[in-house]
A and B are shown apart, each in its own frame.
Chain A
Amino acid sequence: MNIDLASDLASDLAPDLVRTFPFPFPQDIYRYSTNVERAGAAVETPAGQWGESVVHIDSEYAHELGERQAILGRDPSRMQVLPHMRASAWDAMLTIMQALALAHPEQMVLEREGEGETFLWTNRLLGIEQRFSYGDEDTLPDEPLTFIGAQVQEDIALLDQREGQLFVDAGLVTFAADWSFGFDVGMSFLEIHGPVPRVHQTGVIARAQKFLMRLQADAPHRRTNWSLTVGRRLDVSTETYPEWGPDRTRILTVDDDAFGAEVHLRVEVQHLVRLPESGSVMFLIRTYLLPLEAIAGIEPWRARLHAVLAELPEDMADYKGFIAYRDRAVQWLSARAPQEG
């Protein structure tokens, strides 16, 4: 398929954001499911492809890392490591470094010095060269999760497995969609998913937890999740609701062009990784945003999103936070359908 992206896109949207966008709908109908699959295989889309690596750097790298630092500066509770998770934080750091080096060998290098505990980490994109001794916090400028969290666009959550359950006991989460890491830390996986309509009845969460508890270190998996959101704001956590909540109704008052530019399909790609040494489960949550006007530039995406939104049950649209402008989005997408003949 030959698509002329330039014609329809907002001028400030880098082309790779469309090319690597993880469009999440395999069908015209969306329901919650344990939609996990093995990580690492690239998925072809009408615009390009995504998914070949566990971590992904794109043209928003510098911008999103800056955003993360600003959020952490305002609200340090977004990064927490409960005391028993110290080994997991180190494990996460080393695992992410290995993943970065694998995905971007030109820019990212992890070298081990001999058989010992000393490693040299190089991140050429940020001009970082750091020698550290594994397990020794004094050899890093920051706590390990903070250090590596400043070098990936992914949010990181670390789950401890004990007594037949998973607990979110550490993480660095600045781009949460309508939840609060600072509030949820220490809770069980089941508790965190408490308020989602439909998912408990269908057993999805219990199955997901069972799945995660059997996850093995050599087999990372991934899943997607999605919503609609107004603007390119990544931090739509519960704490900042007063800042972004009103957008949900304001958006009804703007004209069509502004609507297509402002309303975004927000997709999370979650990589689920069993950390090899600590045995913790790591969620890497990468958030992608694409405005409706860019989606409308790829006809199969426009048609599919239109179908999914039009069919989506009320309670799900409500939970996902866009019930107020769902119908408007459906109309907007429908009006962009190619003319017959």
Chain B
Amino acid sequence: MLQLVVTEITEASPQVRTLTLARPDRASLPSFTPGSHLVLECGPSVNAYSLLGDSRMPSAYTISVLKLGAGRGGSRWLHERSPGDMVTVRPPRSMFPPMQKARKHLLIAGGIGVTPILSHLRAAARWGHQTEVLYSHRPGHGTHLDELRQLAPESLRCFTRRSEFHAALQESLGRQPIGTHLYCCGPESFMDTVCRSAEEFGWPEGRIHTERFGADALDPGAPFEVVLRDSQRTVTVEPGRSLLEVLEETGISVPNLCRQGFCGECRIPVTAGTPLHRDHYLEDQEKAADDSLMCCVSRAQTDSLEVPL
């Protein structure tokens, strides 16, 4: 966890604010892979935002936040921050990296989805990679246009009309050299349209990349109870906590190594209830037997489980 201070806020477009976050002592922050996102604790919710700025030992992180009416209010909370406020931030996560072997990078953004594209473009400029950018946004709502023009002066095309964007998309998808990778970020329906078009043009799946937030972190899950048969106790595993953590707090130590569902160390038997398996260790038949689970990641499908601990 990082505790960062808001050092600057600018209006990027009528509904988008760009926040700059730095360490209180201004020491450099961890480097990140272009296209990474930052997970922020924003009052009522936990939200992910793409990092816009320089990726190597940056002195600050910048994110752009679109104010959403719906949702749990995280974007509204961020819009209410002012310089000097502190924000709790989890370190950058990479789920949308530029492919190093790509011969060319075709970057397609819709609306606020332009944010990860900026850090991709910065990296491409540094290493001399070939890029092409299509950016679709509502009239008057383009964000970061100046930076985009600077980073991709030759190849940037912006669209404010759907039909023009679609024509350009078709044309562009049809003419890319083999070995081009496509990166797309924007609203779900926008990404679906772009991906479908690419598939129709015969783009292989491995060359199409989308940024869909939250796919990496395991779902926090629903709360469940665990009856510890031998210790004659019952514990509750809250969302976002693991059974392993709860057992450790109860004073029951379980061998463990990776705490991510890979190593197989933390397997424990289950004597009643149905586990919700989320590990990569157990074989399918073992999962189907439902008589054991990896307590570092797995949860329960039933309201409660019983374990002989």
A216 touching B93 in the complex, CB below 8 Å, given contacts A34-B262, A36-B262, A277-B31? yes
Q: Which of B91, B94, B258, B283 contacts A203 (CB 8 A)?
A: B283
Please state if B31 and A163 are interface contacts (CB–CB under 8 Å). Answer: no
In this complex, the member of A38, A135, A162, A164 whose beta carbon has the largest number of chain B beta carbons within 10 angstroms is A162
| Residue A304, interface by CB 8 Å | no
Q: Please, how many angstroms separate the alpha-carbon atoms of A115 and B98 in the complex?
A: 24
- The yes or no answer to A207 lying at the interface (CB within 8 A) is yes
Query: Which of A37, A86, A278 has the most C-beta atoms of chain B within 10 angstroms of its own C-beta?
Result: A278
A279 close to B280 (CB less than 8 A): no
The distance from the CB of B302 to the nearest CB of chain A, in whole angstroms, is: 27
| Cβ-based interface call for B233 (8 A) | no
Which one of A36, A88, A112, A208 lies within 8 Å of B28 (CB-CB)?
Answer: A112
Residue in chain A with minimal CB distance to B55: A277
A residues in contact with B265, CB < 8 Å:
33
Identify whether the interface residues of B are mostly helix, strand, loop, or mixed.
loop
Is A160 an interface residue, CB under 8 A from the partner?
yes
**Is A84 interfacial (CB-CB < 8 Å)?**
yes
Q: How far is A274 from B93 in the complex, measured between Cα atoms in Å?
A: 11
Which of A37, A85, A214 meets B257, CB within 8 Å? A37
Answer whether residue A210 sits at the interface, using C-beta atoms and an 8 A cutoff.
yes
Indicate whether A128 reaches chain B with its CB closer than 8 angstroms: no
CB of A113, distance to nearest CB on chain B (Å)? 12
**B216 at the binding interface (Cβ < 8 Å):** yes
Residues of A within 8 Å of B, CB-based: how many?
Answer: 37
Q: Which of B33, B98, B123, B281 makes the CB contact (< 8 A) with A207?
A: B281
Task: Mark each residue of chain A from 149 to 165: 1 if its CB lies under 8 Å from any CB of chain B, else 0.
Answer: 00000000000111110
Q: Is the CB of A217 within 8 A of B216?
A: no
Chain B: which residue is nearest A161 at the CB level? B97
Q: Is there an interface contact between B280 and A35, defined as CB atoms closer than 8 Å? A: no
Contact (Cβ within 8 A) A276 B262: no
Any A CB within 8 A of the CB of B59: yes
> Would A276 and B206 count as touching, CB distance under 8 A?
no
Task: Choose among B57, B93, B94, B100 the residue that contacts A87 (Cβ–Cβ < 8 A).
Answer: B100
Residues in B whose Cβ lies below 8 Å from that of A85: 100
Shortest CB distance B213–A (Å): 15
Q: A216's closest neighbor in chain B, by CB?
A: B93
Q: Are A162 and B91 in contact (CB under 8 A)?
A: no
A287 contacts the other chain (Cβ, under 8 Å)?
A: no
The distance in angstroms between the C-alpha atoms of A33 and B256, with both chains bound, is: 13
CB distance from B202 to the nearest CB of A (A): 16
Contact A164 B97 (CB under 8 A): no
CB < 8 Å neighbour of A277 from B56, B59, B206, B262: B56
Complex CA gap A134/B260 in Å reads 34
Give, as a whole number of angstroms, the nearest-CB distance from A213 to chain B. Answer: 11
Q: Is the CB of B92 within 8 A of A217?
A: yes
Interface residues of A in 72-129 (CB under 8 A from B): 84-88, 94, 112, 115
User: Does A174 lie at the interface of the complex (its beta carbon under 8 Å from any beta carbon of B)?
Assistant: no
Give the chain A neighbours of B260 by CB distance below 8 A. 211, 214
Q: What chain A residues lie within 8 Å of B127 (beta carbons)?
A: 86-87, 135
Task: Check: A280 CB closer than 8 A to any chain B CB.
Answer: yes
Residues of B contacting A162 in the complex (Cβ-Cβ under 8 angstroms): 99-101, 206
Please tell me if the beta carbons of A135 and B99 are within 8 angstroms of each other in the complex: no
Q: Does A221 contact B (CB under 8 A)?
A: yes
- A280 and B100 in contact, given A34-B258, A207-B280 (Cβ under 8 angstroms): yes
Interface residues of A, Cβ cutoff 8 Å to B: 33-38, 84-88, 94, 112, 115, 134-135, 160-164, 203, 207-208, 210-211, 214, 216-218, 221, 274, 276-280
Q: Which 5 A-B pairs have the closest CB atoms?
A: A276-B31, A163-B206, A218-B91, A279-B97, A279-B33
